[in-house]
Amino acid sequence: MIDIIIVNYNSTDYLIKCLESIYDSLRDISVNIFVQDNDSDDDVSRISKSFPEVILTRNTYNMGFAAAVNQALKVSFSPYVVLLNPDTHIEKGFFKSVICYMEDNPDVGVIGPTIFDHDGSVQGSARSFPTPLTGLFGRKSLLSKLFPGNKITRQNVLTNRCDGITPLEADWVSGACMVVRRKAVEDAGLMDERFFMYWEDADWCKRMWHSGWKVVYFPQASIVHYVGGSSDKLLFRSVFEFHKSSYLLFNKYNKPSLWFMRLIVIAGLSIRLIFTLVSNGIRVWYQQHGIQHKKMTRAKGKKEKVKILRLIARLNIGGPAIHVHLLTKGLDTERFESTLVTGKISPQEGDMSYLFESMENKPIIIPELQREISLNMDFKAFFQIFRILYLVKPDIVHTHTAKAGTSARIAASAYNLFCAKHVRVVHTFHGHIFKGYFSRQTSLMFVWIERLFAMVTDVIIAISEIQKRELVYKYRIAPADKIKIIELGFDLSPFLSCNLLKEQFRRKIGIDDDTLLIGIIGRLAPIKNHMMFLKAAKLFLENNPGILVKFLVVGDGELRHELEAYCNKQGLSNHVLFCGWVRDVPSVYADLDILSLTSINEGTPVSIIEAMASLVPVIATNAGGVPDLLGTPVNVSQSNGFTVCERGILCRNDDVSGFSNGLKYLAENGISQKEECIKRARVFVKQRYSQERLLNDMETTYLNLMEKVPAKDKFLLLQQKCVH
């Protein structure tokens, strides 16, 4: 025999469905159901009409949860008591499993089942006793929502430690559903009626432990909790009572000698109360307006698509800008709706916004979203992004580059929190800023920042296998199962057919066909290490006076004047040509004999992929995803500072002599051997880096993210697996 106690307050609609689920789950188990109604005004008499066997007590005022539970405890008598919220749904087999467990474990006084939210996610219903940090890192606190995987929240919310099957001892379990042994109630006493609502369950469980009874989280039984069915009816009262009960719990167990802590706790709870009231007010306002928006959308008969809000810090010349252009333009318009947000480029950078000139939906420009760090500008960018989130109402926010990833992920977390939404977040590492950009201390700070942001990111995309290994094992940004490899993709057709443009660029810059052209393409920034390229050029000229050669620097940036000054000082001005940015890049590759890359750090260099598609030999330093592009070594035991790989030449970082020797090797290498290498390279990039493959991979990722298996279904699958 089981006694079921349900305290109701204006949740009769929920209560009727709850009672139906109870009777569906009972089978041959006998129960007494006590409904304690705290002066509801939603026609609670319906319960007696639909369920005459239910013992309904109608109180003349709202006496609170604990007092109403005690009312029923005093008149009930069964060996087990189930406390249940009216806005819950009992899952099949609940009663049989909890009774069996209690019978087999006579030292357990209280058990709490798995509690699912209505969206299938698992509630943190098993917890440690609260500490002063619980207010900051509680189950529903701002910091826990922003950084759900942080150490303090994991220590507080014990549900996260459970494997979904094995019972777990907990300090306390949620009163939304708990199964209590009658003998434990007799030993520990009734609920403390000073708690009007909230924290009475934590207090009760604490007294159970003090009386020698265990409290256990029992995941093999489950319910669904439609959170707030009662409390939402009186939202601001419930928020106030939550904080009031928090203080009561603290004061009840605080040592008298620590009297000064009361003032600190009161001040902290007051600040938290104000913040919670404001944030809940915003949430309620948004939900009301959001419902109106949805109704209008349905009335117009619009077909819903997956809305992607894509953000990148700037559209400077380079791989990330090409990547976001392709994704914004190329996704299937029948299933996806894309919006691009970007900032402004620095004056020294080349601009690729021209790619979007022919598109109907132009990028949204946020002038404050820029590469440089500025608290004032960054705050303005955050509020602009938050405003766009509210207007666009995306399903997925996909960020590219570190700066956009920072501002947009903070804004998306705030949007999810304040507007009660669940926007999925994806971030792509095109490279990273953990090496070669800043001092060791600053780089370490950015590593920790990225670890925090990884906690609020649903999927992290690495663009190469090497990059994923670095993010997982070297920098420990996120676990391997959160990081997905999606290699870059391009419209390679202009480069595959660039031979039709042969001699055009040479004529434009006044270089004859007999001159060897060795080029480097990219922005003139420290991370690209153009100085190494120029030093290697000088050494190559000194060691190979018989070779007629010109070195091309295609690109622009902050270091141009410094690099030109170096060439003047070293007597390289007649041998090195600074071309600036060239929009018709395929014409450059058509006349280039060797492409060089000397970067300190890279993601997947676009210039190497373009060169391979254009049948141009490549020599590059060992940076980022470069080895993935060049392939396995053909002869590892090279003694002259470079390694011949399947699809190009690989050199050590900052090894000028080795790079110069590699250039000489490519310049003197036999035609047949060189052609075999560049043909392999072209076949490789055609297969691996096509735009069709990229779009298919990204669309699949988005759809899988939208159709992610709910936590409830994962639990059921795990149960089935254990049974079999």
Together in a domain, 441 and 515: no
Together in a domain, 310 and 195: no
Encoding tokens for residue 308?
Answer: 């992607």
How many domains is the chain partitioned into structurally? 4
Single residue among 437, 470, 485 that ends a domain in this structure: 485
Together in a domain, 621 and 650: yes
Instruction: Tell me how far apart the alpha carbons of residues 634 and 644 are, in angstroms, rounded to a whole number.
Output: 6
Together in a domain, 352 and 477: yes
* Residues linked to residue 520 through DSSP beta bridges, in sequence order: 553, 596
Residue 49 lies in a domain: yes
Residue 25 lies in a domain: yes
Residue 324 lies in a domain: yes
pLDDT tens for residues 259-272? 677 777 777 777 76
Together in a domain, 458 and 392: yes
Instruction: Tell me how far apart the alpha carbons of residues 530 and 114 are, in angstroms, rounded to a whole number.
Output: 59
Together in a domain, 114 and 134: yes
Q: Is the pLDDT of residue 162 over 50?
A: yes
Single residue among 433, 450, 485 that ends a domain in this structure: 485
Q: Domain with 26 in it: what CATH number?
A: 3.90.550.10
Together in a domain, 548 and 663: yes
E-strand spans in 137-290? 168-169, 172-173, 177-181, 214-225
Residue 45 lies in a domain: yes
Q: In angstroms, how far is CA 663 from the centroid of its own chain?
A: 43
Q: Domain with 567 in it: what CATH number?
A: 3.40.50.2000
Together in a domain, 219 and 196: yes
Q: 55 near 33, Cβ under 8 Å?
A: yes
pLDDT tens for residues 609-620? 999 999 999 999
> 281 is in which domain, residue-wise?
254-302
Residue 458 lies in a domain: yes
Together in a domain, 556 and 567: yes
pTM: 0.55
Provide the 3-class DSSP secondary structure of residue 597.
strand
What pLDDT was estimated at residue 616?
95
Encoding tokens for residue 604?
Answer: 């997947």
Output the DSSP codes for 212-242.
Answer: T-EEEEEEEEEEEE-TTTTGGGGHHHHHHHH
Residue 598 lies in a domain: yes
The set of residues, in sequence order, having a beta carbon less than 8 Å from that of 125 and lying 6+ positions away, is: 112, 114, 115, 159, 173, 174, 176, 177, 217
Together in a domain, 295 and 156: no
Give 235's pLDDT tier (boundaries 50, 70, 90): low
Q: 169 near 176, Cβ under 8 Å?
A: no
Together in a domain, 69 and 213: yes
Together in a domain, 296 and 414: no
pLDDT tens for residues 320-351? 888 899 999 999 999 999 999 999 887 667 77
pLDDT tens for residues 176-229? 999 999 999 999 999 999 999 888 999 999 999 999 999 999 999 999 988 654
Residue 666 lies in a domain: yes
Q: Is the pLDDT of residue 711 over 70?
A: no
CA atoms within 13 A on the CB side of 620: 32
Residue 704 lies in a domain: no
Single residue among 450, 485, 520 that ends a domain in this structure: 485
